[in-house]
Structure 1
Amino acid sequence: MKLNCDMGESFGAWQMGNDHAVMPWIDQANIACGFHASDPDVMAQTVSWAISHHVEIGAHPGYEDKVGFGRRSIPHSLTSITRLVAYQVGALDALCQIQNIHVAYIKPHGALYNDMMANAAIFEAIVEAVAGLNQARHVKLKLMVLARADNSEYLNIAKRYDVELLQEAFADRAYDDVGTLVPRTESGAVYHDATMIKQQVIELAEGRVTTVSGKTLLLHADTVCVHGDNDESIVTIAALHKVLNP
């Protein structure tokens, strides 16, 4: 199982995260594309760091909302969603091509990710963007989605468009008894204890997760999301890397 991290979210003089320190310990970098965060210089620098550490590059498109960091849902037509995803992926991929590499996958950000997982029509609009971009590519883009106990509807939609999905779990988020993330607004939704995070990743690598009520659920994940916002979290990510790569 791979480790992925949201990165490239600085903007001009405003620093977000500690990408340079996180990069050696992850497998996949989800790089912001300019709408919820980032700018061309930050994007290009993050791509360069990913290349130097042999990290797979993913586009991290979101709603155009720097003030809200892409965490506010903004109504769009389905066609507009397809276009805003394609636009952002195209921007990052152009900066990748300058460095002789390509975007490998797409992971929507924030509210767009949540809306995609809550609304199959929005999901299909994003799949349409992926499928359209793949028409001119030799190596096809994949789409990262939330791993759930039952993702059959989304798998069927993606199959119609010949788009491969990457199932993502979260190292530091609590799961409810139906296999979805506990909302951040609820107490205990985000784990901060390194031991608890490590235990959850070990379970996810074995194809299961323990819910907030203590129930064990089967959950298939191809990749697990980690967050590297401070020195303590980077130490935790390094430990997770060693667990998954003994």
Structure 2
Amino acid sequence: MVATIDLNCDLGESFGAWRSGDDPAMFELVSSANVACGFHAGDPLTMRESVALAIRHGVALGAHPGYRDLAGFGRRALDASPDEIGAELVYQLGALDAAARVAGTRVRYVKAHGALYHRLADDPAAATGFAAAIAAYDAGLWVLGGAGSAIATAADASGLAFAREGFADRGVGADGRLIPRGEPGAVLTEPAAVTARAVELARGGDVDSICLHGDTPGAAVLARAVRRALEDAGIEIRSFA
């Protein structure tokens, strides 16, 4: 049996005149795209362009909602209530899914962004609100997040399929958590280190999806190297969704 792994990336993060990453190149290399929905990044035109790229390259389309924090790129912790998190999720998910439906496709999964992602790993109340909102919108959607996290438990309780995620371009501390951005070793940009970690994650069997970040310096070069290394290792790249 051929081993498989999903390769996902945070994409669609441009906003107005501000451009982020090389989306056309990245969509050619990944199997799932976490597309920003307008709160931490992205805008209607960028969402429409991202949907078109996903269709063109056969990439599974995922919603990537975050805190309402354009200035901080969704990486600042905000004191939003579980109800507010759920309501803002539906708002963002609905926006991307509308763009997808117009183009003849659908959103397949949801992955939280930035500070919201980290909160959902540890806050059961916030995770429950997030998962309940997804289930109310479409119980057929997958949730992508960390194994053993609060959102994994909440997704299961809401009857949602859950995919476990690991990170190829982020450093991990002794406690198993991502090293906070801004600290030494938080972001990995050396191709050899990133590809070695990706192959290790894929072979370990503990994750269903490997994440690369579209705003990491040299993201397309890293993604191309990761894809080649996985294929050379006999691992098929295929979306969990």
* TM-score (norm. length: structure 1): 0.87
Aligned mates of 2:94, 2:35 — CA distance in 1: 12
Deviation at 1:231? 7.6
2:176 is aligned with 1:173 = no
Q: Does 1:146 align with 2:146?
A: yes
2:213 aligned with 1:227: yes
Aligned pair in 2 of structure 1 residues 96, 228: CA closer, same or farther (>3 Å)? same
Matched position secondary structure for 2:218: helix
Aligned residue type for 2:228: K
What do residues 86-133 of structure 1 show as CA deviations (whole Å, max 9, x unaligned)?
A: 110011000000001000000111111111112121111111111111
2:173 maps to a residue whose letter is D
SS at match of 2:45: helix
| CA RMSD in angstroms, aligned pairs only | 1.7
d(CA) in 1 for partners of 2:144, 2:152: 12
Answering whether residue 23 of structure 2 is matched by residue 19 of structure 1, we say: yes
Q: Distance in 1 between matches of 2:151 and 2:27?
A: 30
Deviation at 1:73, TM superposition (A): 1.5
1:60-79 matches, within 5 Å, as: 60-79=64-83
Gap change, CA 1:180 and 1:3, over 3 Å in 2? same
Cα distance, 1:239 vs structure 2: 1.8
Aligned position for 1:212: none
One-letter amino acid of the counterpart of residue 226, structure 1: L
- CA–CA distance in 2 between the matches of 1:116 and 1:156? 10
Q: Distance in 1 between matches of 2:37 and 2:210?
A: 21
Q: Report the 3-state secondary structure (helix = DSSP H, G, I; strand = E; otherwise coil) of the residue aligned with 1:206.
A: helix
What is the total number of aligned residue pairs between the two structures? 228
The structural deviation recorded for 1:13 is 1.1
Matched-pair identity in %: 40
Relative to 1, partners in 2 of residues 1:134 and 1:237: Cα closer, same or farther, differing over 3 Å? same
Q: 1:239 maps to which residue?
A: 225
Cα separation, 1, equivalents of 2:216 and 2:151? 34
Structure 2: 5+ residue stretches without partners? 233-241
> Which of 51, 56, 60 is the equivalent residue of 1:52?
56
Secondary structure of the 1:87 match is helix
Q: Structure 1 regions of 5+ residues with no counterpart?
A: 208-218
- Residue identity in the other structure for 1:176: G
1:146 counterpart letter in structure 2: G
Match among 188, 194, 210 for residue 197 of structure 1: 194
2:12 match: 8
CA apart distance, 1:225: 0.8
Contact 1:27 1:55 in 2 (8 A): yes
- Shift in Å, 1:242: 2.1
Per-residue deviation, 1:230: 7.0
* 1:40-70: CA deviation from partner (whole Å, max 9, x where unpaired): 1110011101110000000010111111111
For residue 213 of structure 2, what is the amino acid of its counterpart?
A: H
Q: Secondary structure at the match of 1:25?
A: coil
